[in-house]
Chains A and B, each alone.
Chain A
C-alpha cells in the first residue's frame, strides 16, 4: 500500500503541466535521436543534457529519461523504412520490418512496433515499481558491499558488452583512470592535473561522454559514403486483426525477455532484441519465412528492446548501478543536479524518484499516441542531407560542451576524447565500459578506501561480509566465463576427434 501511495504521489508530480511538457519534449527529442541514423541514444542523451541546465532537477531527469526510452521508438522507423537502424537495438527489426515495407505494409509494421513498444515499456516501468522495496535491502549495504557491487557491475558491463573481454576491461580501466584525475577526495592532493586549474575538479563527464560517443560517432560516419536516403512507401497505419493475433504472443514473450535481461547490468538492448527474434523464430511454425516480412519478427524484438530500456533503470534506482552507457549518462545527470541515484534516492527525494517513474508511464502513452501520426514528419527529417545534419550536431555538441562549465577547455577536452573514441572504435574497443566506470570510478575508490580504513588496511574485510563474498564470487565467475567457454570448446573438439 505504501508503494501505491508513493506511486500516486509520483503521478501528482509527473502530471503537473510543467513536467508533462518536459516529458513531451523528451519523447519528441528521443524519437528524433532514434530516427537519425548515426546518432545513438547515448550520444543523443549526452548531447541534449545542456537543454536541461536551467530546469528543476525532477524536470531535467524526466526529460532525459524520456529521451532514452523515446529513442527506442524512433530507431524502429528507420529500420522499417530505409533498412538502416536508427540505434543498435533496432537492427534486428530490419530483417522483417523492411521486408514488410517492401510489400507495402510499412504502416502495419510501425503500428505493431509502437504497440509492442508501449506494452514492453509499460511492463518495464511496472517492474521498476515492484522492485522499489528492494531498496530496503540495499540500505543495509556498507562501503564493503558497495565496493563489491561496483566490481560486479563493472565486470558485468565488460563481460556482456559483446566485445572481447580483454578489450572491454581495458576500456573499463581507462574510465576508472579518468575518474582519478583531479583533487584526491580524502587528502586534497592533486592527481594527474599537470598544474591545470581546470583539471583540479576532475575531467568533466559531459565533455568526455560527448567526445567518446558523439564526436567519435560523427567522425566515424564522416568517413563513410553518404548516399541520399530513399524511404519505402507508407501504407495505412492500421494493422489487421490477423496482424494483432499473430503479434499477441511475440509481444508477451518480448516483454518477459526484455524485462529479465534489462535487470542485468551490461546486457545490451541489441542482445535483448536479438534474443527475442531468435525465440520467435524457434517457436514459429514457419521459421523459414522469417526474414521475408513476418510480423512476429517485428513485434517480439521491438517489445523486448523497450522493456529492456525501462527495466534497465531498476539497477540504477535500487542499487545505484547503471546497467548501460545511456543509463550511466543519466546517472551523471542525476549527480549534476545534486541527486545520488540508488536506495537513498527513494528515502531522501521520493518526489524525484516516484515522479520520474510515474512520468515513464505517461511518456509511454505519449509515445504511442504521438508516434503513429508523426511518422510522416520523421520520414521528412530523414531526408535531410548528412552534411547539414552533422554540421548541426557538431555545432550543438560544441555548445553543450562549453555551456556545462562555461569553459573553452571543455571543448578541447571533448575534441580530444572524440579523437580517442574514434581510434578506440577503429580498434573495436567498446566505449560503454569506459563511460560506466568514469561515473562509478570515484564512488568505487571512495568505498574501497573507506573499507580499508575500517579494517586498518586488512583486505580480508572483503571476505567477512557474506553479501560482498557472494558479489565478488559472481564477478569472478563473469570474468572467468570466456576462459570456461574456451576450455569447453577445446574439450568438445577433443571429444569429436576421439570419436
Chain B
C-alpha cells in the first residue's frame, strides 16, 4: 500500500514540476504587478512541496495493508471498463448519430452489461431514457440535443 501511495506522490511531484515549467514560460511579472505565470507557478511549487512531504511521511510511517487490496475484483473491473468505455464511445459518436440513437444503444448496452434484466424492462428504460428524454428536453425544457448527422436517421427526426 505504501509503495502505491509513494508512487502517486512522485507522480504528483512530476506533474507539479511540469506545471511550474510551463508557468515559468509565461510572463511572471509585469510593470504593474504579477503576470499570467505568477499564480500557477507558486501553486505548482506548493503542490510539489506538499507531495514531497507526503512522500516523506509515508517513508517515516508506512501504511498497513497490501497494494493488491486496492485493485477491484474481476467483476468490478469488468463493470468499470463497461461504464468508462461505453461512456467514451457515447461521447465520440453523439454528434454523428444523434442523441436518441446513441443514448438508446448506450443504455441498452449498460443494462445488459451491468446486470441481466427482463427484455421488457431493458427496452422500456432504454427507450424512455433516450427518445423520451430527447422529447422532454427539446419540447419542455427547451434544451437542444444533437440530431443525427447521418441523412436517413436525420430524415427520421432522430
Query: Are A and B bound to each other?
Result: yes
Binding site for B on A (CB under 8 A): 50-51, 53-54, 164, 166-167, 169-170, 173-174, 176-177, 180, 184, 186-187, 189, 191-192, 215, 218-219, 222-226, 385-388, 390-392, 394-395, 398-399, 402-403, 406, 408, 411-412, 415, 418-419, 422-423, 426-427, 445, 448-449, 452-453, 456-457
18 contacts across the A-B interface (CB closer than 8 A):
A170-B47, A174-B47, A177-B19, A180-B40, A180-B43, A191-B36, A192-B22, A192-B40, A219-B83, A223-B80, A387-B110, A391-B129, A392-B129, A395-B103, A395-B106, A411-B94, A412-B91, A457-B33
Q: Within 8 Å CB of A180, what residues of B?
A: 39-40, 43
Is B117 in contact with chain A by the CB < 8 A criterion?
yes
Contacts A222-B80, A398-B91, A427-B4 known; 9 new A-B pairs at CB < 8 A: A170-B54, A173-B46, A187-B30, A223-B80, A388-B117, A395-B106, A406-B144, A412-B91, A449-B38
A419-B84, A457-B29 as given contacts; A448 in contact with B94, CB under 8 Å? no
Contact A176 B144 (CB under 8 A): no
Is B14 in contact with chain A by the CB < 8 A criterion?
no
A411-B94, A445-B39, A449-B33 as given contacts; A166 in contact with B57, CB under 8 Å? yes
How many residue-residue contacts, CB under 8 A, span A and B? 164
Q: Within 8 Å CB of A385, what residues of B?
A: 115, 117
Is B70 in contact with chain A by the CB < 8 A criterion?
yes
Chain A contact residues, majority secondary structure: helix
Q: Within 8 Å CB of A449, what residues of B?
A: 33-34, 38-39
Binding site for A on B (CB under 8 A): 4-5, 8, 12, 19, 22-23, 26-27, 29-30, 32-36, 38-40, 43-44, 46-47, 50-51, 53-54, 57, 70, 72-73, 76-77, 79-80, 83-84, 87-88, 90-92, 94-95, 99, 103, 106-107, 110-111, 114-115, 117, 121, 125, 129, 133, 137, 141-146
Q: Within 8 Å CB of A448, what residues of B?
A: 34, 39
Bound Cα distance from A317 to B92, whole angstroms = 40
Bound Cα distance from A102 to B30, whole angstroms = 68
A54-B141, A177-B19, A402-B145 as given contacts; A170 in contact with B12, CB under 8 Å? yes
Contact B43 A388 (CB under 8 A): no
Bound Cα distance from A423 to B84, whole angstroms = 14
Contact A415 B91 (CB under 8 A): yes
Contact B144 A187 (CB under 8 A): no
A457 to chain B: closest residue by CB: B33
Closest 9 CB pairs between A and B? A387-B115, A223-B76, A223-B72, A411-B91, A387-B114, A453-B33, A184-B36, A391-B110, A222-B79
Contact B50 A218 (CB under 8 A): no
Bound Cα distance from A448 to B106, whole angstroms = 46
Q: Within 8 Å CB of A219, what residues of B?
A: 80, 83-84
Q: Within 8 Å CB of A423, what residues of B?
A: 8
What is the minimal beta-carbon distance from B54 to any residue of chain A, in angstroms? 5
Contact A222 B117 (CB under 8 A): no
Contact A173 B43 (CB under 8 A): yes
What is the minimal beta-carbon distance from A478 to any residue of chain B, in angstroms? 15
Bound Cα distance from A249 to B71, whole angstroms = 47
Contact A170 B94 (CB under 8 A): no
Contact A53 B141 (CB under 8 A): yes
Contact A403 B33 (CB under 8 A): no
A184-B36, A412-B88, A419-B84 as given contacts; A223 in contact with B8, CB under 8 Å? no
Contact B76 A222 (CB under 8 A): yes
Q: Within 8 Å CB of B125, what residues of A?
A: 388, 391-392
B83 in complex: contacting residue of A173, A187, A192, A218, CB < 8 Å: A218
Q: Within 8 Å CB of A192, what residues of B?
A: 19, 22, 40
Bound Cα distance from A371 to B143, whole angstroms = 31
Contact A394 B36 (CB under 8 A): no
Q: Within 8 Å CB of B44, what residues of A?
A: 177
Bound Cα distance from A266 to B29, whole angstroms = 33
Bound Cα distance from A24 to B43, whole angstroms = 43
A174-B47, A223-B80 as given contacts; A394 in contact with B40, CB under 8 Å? no
Q: Within 8 Å CB of A54, what residues of B?
A: 141-143
A166-B54, A173-B50, A177-B19 as given contacts; A395 in contact with B129, CB under 8 Å? yes
A221 to chain B: closest residue by CB: B79
Q: Within 8 Å CB of B73, what residues of A?
A: 223, 225
A166-B54, A398-B90, A453-B33 as given contacts; A403 in contact with B40, CB under 8 Å? no
Contact B83 A394 (CB under 8 A): yes
Q: Within 8 Å CB of B106, what residues of A?
A: 395, 398
Contact A411 B87 (CB under 8 A): yes
Contact B36 A403 (CB under 8 A): no
Q: Within 8 Å CB of B57, what residues of A?
A: 166
Q: Within 8 Å CB of A184, what residues of B?
A: 26, 36
B96 to chain A: closest residue by CB: A408
A408 in complex: contacting residue of B8, B35, B95, CB < 8 Å: B95
Residue among B30, B33, B83, B103 facing the most chain A CB atoms (10 A cut-off): B33
A411 to chain B: closest residue by CB: B91
A223-B76, A386-B115 as given contacts; A186 in contact with B36, CB under 8 Å? yes
What is the minimal beta-carbon distance from B32 to any residue of chain A, in angstroms? 5
A394-B83, A398-B91, A403-B145 as given contacts; A169 in contact with B36, CB under 8 Å? no
Bound Cα distance from A224 to B76, whole angstroms = 7
Q: Within 8 Å CB of A456, what residues of B?
A: 32-33
What is the minimal beta-carbon distance from B56 to any residue of chain A, in angstroms? 10
Contact B35 A387 (CB under 8 A): no
A219-B83, A387-B117, A415-B88 as given contacts; A173 in contact with B142, CB under 8 Å? no
Q: Within 8 Å CB of A191, what residues of B?
A: 23, 26, 36, 40
Contact A399 B103 (CB under 8 A): yes
Bound Cα distance from A385 to B110, whole angstroms = 13
Bound Cα distance from A406 to B144, whole angstroms = 8
